[in-house]
Structure 1
Amino acid sequence: MANFDFLIIGAGTGGMAAAQKAAEYGAKVAVIEKEKVGGTCLNRGCTPKKLMVYAADFALQESLAVSYGWQECQRQLDWSLLMQKIHQRLDSISNSFTKTFAEKGIELIYGEAKFIDSRTVKVNDQEISADKILIAVGGHPIKPDIPGKDLAITSREMFQLKEIPQKLAIVGGGYIGVEFASMMNAFGAEVVFMDTSELILSGFDKDLRTTVQQGLIERGIEFIGETTAEKIEQAGNRLQLHLSDEQTITADRVLLATGRAPNTKSLDLDKAGVKVGDKGEIKVDEFCRTENQHIYAVGDCIDRVPLTPVAKAEALAVVETLYGKQPKSIDYTYVTSAVFSRPEAATVGMNEAEARDKYGDRINCHCDRTTPMLYSLADEANQETVTIKLITVGKEEKVVGVHMVGEHAADIIQCIGVAVRQGITKQDLDDSFGIHPTIGEEFMSM
């Protein structure tokens, strides 16, 4: 039996961060991975998605270029080449992580882990025990239980498409559905997507949701709200998606973007004394520790905030708790997040509804809309606006929420998020110097 100080199950963002930091503290570390180093984010999530967003942006810039005097030209996307280059890049990054493991003395074991007792797992035919274990197995897309669901694809298969579908139907108006709707529309596909609500992006600020939805519609994307998918049928070479409002959508592909679930089912967690919730999420305390005091869990397999930087922060906090001799927990109050659609959206802190629930009439909302300088030479049909919103509390107007839709939203909110976390007020923004001419300066002159 192999023995380690620290055993990590899952080589995604959280697992990799924990492994490297623990190794720096001198721990004997092993990582178990059943697929590919890098996890969902690198191999079938954030990274390939953002590369596809960049590729789609070239198509969106065509009409804007004409406004700046560039002559029109006919360009065509080589989809196969794009996907080949993306996967080559992903392989390169994954290989570099594997090399780093070797350099730091971290043992990488490929296979599926199953617990056989409170401190031991079995991988293939090998038993491995450890003083401390971290579960960082992430999650996977789930399909609604409807007839014909096997005819549809999930976000995982979107990165394996051999060609751009002429028409794509998307079920689900969360950030995954919205982002794929946006980029596939830019690639030239006819896109229709739907959600059970009248507005997309549940959980985000209502003004943000409304603005993004209207922006997608203005780009020619069809949205059907307040409906659910009931069944999918084969119709020759195409698919028919039947909705609860009696509409039928005929498309080449149907993408089910209806949520994700933790990858915990096959771990045999009951044998380790680890409790899970109804969806398979691992129950942890403020230090990401399970009922078994030797086992911790982070990332998408626990019921916190399923974002890559959060998983990394949780993992590093666990290592500090175990080996840095400084118990550390995560403050989730001001987590920044973004939706890489076009228009782009980003947010930090409370939305208006949350702020009103907590603070009532003490809140103030400041909301501005403006046309970025980039679009000042464009005709009306190609113009886009930027929406920015501040939510403040009390006479001192402490900023508790910032929301933005438009050009560079993610980068701007990422920086403002640092200030919000430090407790800034609206007056602090008013007294700051913006960089002119930029979109970011609008926050200093609301």
Structure 2
Amino acid sequence: MDVTITPLKCLVRIMFLHLFSCFVLLMITAMVSIADDTYTSTFQSLRDGQTHVSTGGTFELGFFTPEGASNKRYVGIWYKNIPVNTVVWVANRDTPLTDSSGVLKITSPGILVLVDHNKTVWSSNTSSPAQNPVAQLLDSGNLVVIDKSDNVDPSAESFLWQSFDYPGNTLLPGMKLGRNTITGFKWFMSSWKSPQDPSQGNYTFQNGPKGYAEQIMMEGSVMKFRTGPWNGIRFSGAPHLSPNPIYTYNLLFDHDEEYYSYKLLNRSILSRLVLAQDGLVHRYTWIDRTQEWFLHLTAQLDSCDTYALCGAYGVCNIENSPACGCLKGFSPKYPKDWEVMDWSNGCVRKTPLSCNGDIFQKYYGVKLPSTEQSWFNTSMNIKECEMKCTKNCSCTAYSNLYISQGGTGCRMWFGDLIDITIRNFTKNGEDLYIRMAASELPTAC
């Protein structure tokens, strides 16, 4: 067969081969770029005036001066692509530099150090020595130290150090709020002293050291607020914490770790949890249309969230005036104090318990009491929980551990019941059964 190649066919073939070659070259370049992404964005030193951008361009690391603090320099991480300067982490928050001579660099064991005039101002630690340590800012906002000689993709297991283990006043998606139950290491938030001063302020927000899975706000050594225990869906005292289109959240029990964390459903959305200098916990979400942070929610709803406002066996209901009252079968311990709205000494029983003939009063939709003196079991049902509490004369109350599937598990309290709040829950409310003398007739709360 005689095959004739016309000039037009020849031109088409040449164009096809050219386009194909470009496509192959583009694919190879992309593959190399992806493969090298682990290390192309790493650094070993950073001087004042230089910045380092995260792998996806969301965050930026560098030196900064807070507005109104002209003579102080800090190393921090902030959102890169929004017009409102928003710092989410600070390295040397308690040891500011006084000029622009600072250098952040990696030392041979794999330790990040901030040096000013040959003096170490701040340093990290390391889990193990590294042959070729480098630092990298991930697009999650996590500043990590890795060993480049390992030639593996960065993962939490391979990090020699990470800033996510040391939150400041901001909890980003993927950060933890909790503790390692074996080592005792804690992930906690701490407030800034002021917008001009990122040094550690008066407030911390963390998992409670005792009891079952609740978060607490401390002002120094004094508890100011608690969320109530985790009930499988949310924290007992956080009715506004519910499934939403922005983020998911959970309290995780992962081997030797117990922690709260959240993740964004859409990575293009910016959302952060902030512990303000006045002790309030806020969640903000960035709104592109208005170019500002929108206050999504605040953990503390009202004055009833003040820890132990009504004292032992007192109950707070913001819809009442005054907000504090005594549980049924109880009366103010010091009535004259209550007349001037000092409820701190709480309430006492009108009728002593007899143990064998006691009954349980049911309260609906409450923020459960402090769990510092409590016990729990994940497999018992509510009837078994009642029987166990009834047989133990020291048991003052019980409830389900989780509210899903109609209620599962058992939680029992011993000693005084502190920090109870009644709210009008529309869903996912919790029931609390409080031990009473049999002479107190049971009525619905």
TM-score category (smaller protein): under 0.3
Larger radius of gyration: 2
**TM-score normalised to structure 2 length:** 0.21
Q: Larger % of strand: which?
A: 2
